[in-house]
Amino acid sequence: MHHLRRQFSHVGRLLQQSKLTATSEIEMSHFNQLASTWWDVNGPQRILHKMNLLRMDFINDTIKSHLKLNKGVTDPEEQIYIPPFNVDNVLPKEIADRINGEQEIRRQQLWQQLKLDALDIGCGGGILSESLARLPVVNRVKGIDLSTEVLEVARQHKKLDPMVREKLTYELKAVEDLDPNTEQYDVVTMFEMLEHVNYPAEVLKAALRHVKPGGWIFISTINRDLISWFTTIFMGEHILKIVPLGTHTYDKYINEKELEKWVEDGHENSDLGDLRKQFEVAGSKGCVYLPCYGWKFTDNVEVGNYFMALKRRD
Taking only the tens place, the pLDDT of each residue in 79-116 is 999 999 999 999 999 999 999 999 999 999 999 999 99
- What pLDDT is attached to residue 175? 95
> Residue 32: what pLDDT?
64
**pLDDT greater than 60 at residue 34:** yes
Please tell me the predicted confidence (pLDDT) of residue 241: 73
262-268 contacts at long range (C-beta below 8 A, 24 or more positions apart): 262/8, 262/201, 262/204, 263/310
18 falls in which pLDDT band (50, 70, 90)? Answer: low
The confidence band for 17, taking pLDDT boundaries of 50, 70 and 90, is very low
Task: Considering the chain, tell me which residue range(s) the CATH 3.40.50.150 domain(s) occupy.
Answer: 30-66+115-312
Tell me if 192 is assigned to a ligand binding site: yes
Domain 30-66+115-312 part of CATH 3.40.50.150: yes
Question: Does residue 13 have a pLDDT over 60?
Answer: no
**Which of 175-184, 261-270, 281-290 bottoms out in mean pLDDT, i.e. has the lowest?**
261-270
Is 72 annotated as contributing to ligand binding? no
pLDDT at 11 over 50: no
Q: Which of 71-80, 158-167, 169-178, 266-275 has the lowest mean pLDDT?
A: 266-275
On the question of pLDDT at 178 being above 80, the answer is yes
Predicted pLDDT at 181: 93
Residue 312 annotated as part of some ligand binding site: no
Name the pLDDT band for 204 (thresholds 50, 70, 90): very high
DSSP-based three-state secondary structure for 117: strand
φ, ψ dihedrals at 50, nearest 5°: -70, -40
Residue 191's identity, in one-letter code, is F
302 is in an annotated binding site: no
* Residue 195, marked binder: yes
Q: Which of 235, 250, 197, 243 is nearest to 219 (CA)?
A: 197
Query: For the range 59-62, what are the long-range contacts, defined as Cβ-Cβ under 8 Å and sequence gap of 24 or more?
Result: 59/132, 59/187, 59/189, 59/216, 59/218, 60/135, 62/216, 62/218, 62/282, 62/283, 62/309
Q: Taking the model in full, what pTM does it have?
A: 0.88
